[in-house]
Structure formats: structure tokens, C-alpha cells
């Protein structure tokens, strides 16, 4: 126990402050207000691997390490699509995952956002379209944001998530859910 405490104490807080003059940061700051204004709670993300090589999964894992401090931004990953506001989808969509992807999408309550991750999610990547691959995610479900990269870094993935949220108010104003929590327009 003493060793654990010593290790925690010796490292202190490793989470990195958001960079000061970064375009990405501005989205993130405004974003937190918007999440609160719109949803009144944390943003919940559900990840779906629809055929990835698992490279993008490694970077999504990394996004959850203490340096990125996702929880501190009010964002967390959840176990069920029924708890999610945003779907993070990787891979070219393999034909065998098509039904599972559609069902997961349908199980996610409206309003929902979709972020396609990686070159494969954005374009089908090297795998393209074939007897076994449907190619890009947007061939199967509507995609709000596409983050290229092979794999994209955690910072890029985070930027994608934040960008998706930044443009979501217009899309969400007419929905029941937004009205129900007293949302009346994007904060400026």
C-alpha cells in the first residue's frame, strides 16, 4: 500500500492542460458549456469496431489514459449504445458487421452523433469495397465527422469528437430531448 501511495504521490497529476492558443482548444472549451447546456450531463460515447485492423482501437484506448483527462472534459465511454450520445465507429464496415452496426445505431437514442475514425472509416482505406467490405462508414449510417489517419492520434480523435459536438446544436434544437432539458439555442 505504501508503495502505491508513494508512486501516486511521486507522479502527481500527469494530465495535460489543454494547449492555450490551439483551435482545438477553443472547440473544447466552448464544447463543455454546450454539452452542459444541451444535455446537462457528461457526453457518453459508445465505440463500435465495424471491421478495423485494431490500430484505431489502440489510439481510442490511449485517449482514455490520464494524460488526455477525458473524464475531466465531461466525456466518457459507456458499455451500451442505449446510454450513448455519440458513436465512434472504426474500420471499413465488413459485410459481416453491417447488421450489427445498423442495430447498434438504431439502439442509440436520438439525438445522436456519429464520428468515423481512421482512413478506413473515412474512405474504406486500403480495404476499399469488396465481397467482404462495404467500405466507408457513411455507406451504412449517417456520419457527422470523419477523422482520417492510420491510426489517427488520440488528439485528433478528441478533436473529431469535439468538432462533432460543436456543430450539433443546430441539428438538435428541434428534437424532443433538447427541449425537454430546456435547451434554447447554442450558447455563444
Of residues 38, 53, 114, 122, which one binds another protein by CB under 8 A? 53
Cα gap 155→20, rounded to integer Å: 14
Could you give the strand order of the β-sheet that contains 113-117, starting from the edge strand earlier in sequence? 75-77, 43-49, 86-90, 113-117, 145-147
Question: Contact between 54 and another protein (CB under 8 A)?
Answer: yes
Of residues 24, 98, 166, 186, which one binds another protein by CB under 8 A? 98
Of residues 27, 31, 39, 60, which one binds another protein by CB under 8 A? 60
Question: Contact between 176 and another protein (CB under 8 A)?
Answer: no
11-30 binders of another protein (CB under 8 A): 11, 14
Element (H, E) at 115: strand 113-117
106-135 binders of another protein (CB under 8 A): 125-128, 130-133
Of residues 56, 73, 84, 147, which one binds another protein by CB under 8 A? 56
Q: Please report which residue ranges of the chain form alpha helices under DSSP H.
A: 2-11, 23-39, 55-63, 98-107, 118-123, 154-166, 168-172, 176-180
How many residues form the binding site for another protein (CB under 8 A)?
Answer: 52
Question: Contact between 92 and another protein (CB under 8 A)?
Answer: yes
Q: Which residues of 66-91 are buried (b: 16+ CB within 10 A; e: fewer)?
A: eebbbeebebebbeebeebbbbbbbb
Name the residue nearer to another protein (CB basis): 10 or 174.
10
Binding site for another protein (CB under 8 A): 3-4, 7-8, 11, 14, 47-62, 64-67, 77, 79-81, 91-92, 94-100, 102, 104, 125-128, 130-133, 150-151, 153
Amino acid at each position: 500500500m505504501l508503495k502505491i501511495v508513494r508512486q501516486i504521490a511521486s507522479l502527481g497529476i500527469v494530465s495535460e492542460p489543454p494547449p492555450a492558443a490551439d483551435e482545438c482548444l477553443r472547440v473544447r472549451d466552448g464544447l463543455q458549456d454546450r454539452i452542459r447546456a444541451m444535455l446537462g450531463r457528461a457526453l457518453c460515447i459508445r465505440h463500435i469496431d465495424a471491421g478495423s485492423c485494431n490500430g484505431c482501437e489502440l489510439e481510442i484506448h490511449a485517449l482514455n489514459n490520464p494524460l488526455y483527462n477525458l473524464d475531466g472534459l465531461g466525456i466518457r465511454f459507456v458499455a451500451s449504445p442505449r446510454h450513448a450520445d455519440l458513436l465512434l465507429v472504426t474500420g471499413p464496415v465488413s459485410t459481416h458487421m453491417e447488421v450489427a452496426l445498423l442495430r447498434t445505431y438504431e439502439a442509440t437514442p436520438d439525438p445522436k452523433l456519429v464520428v468515423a475514425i481512421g482512413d478506413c472509416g473515412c474512405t474504406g482505406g486500403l480495404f476499399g469495397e469488396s465481397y467482404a467490405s462495404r467500405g466507408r462508414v457513411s455507406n451504412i449510417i449517417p456520419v457527422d465527422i470523419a477523422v482520417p489517419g492510420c491510426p489517427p492520434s488520440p488528439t485528433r480523435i478528441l478533436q473529431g469528437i469535439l468538432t462533432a459536438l460543436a456543430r450539433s446544436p443546430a441539428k438538435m434544437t428541434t428534437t424532443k430531448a433538447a427541449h425537454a432539458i430546456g435547451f434554447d439555442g447554442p450558447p455563444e
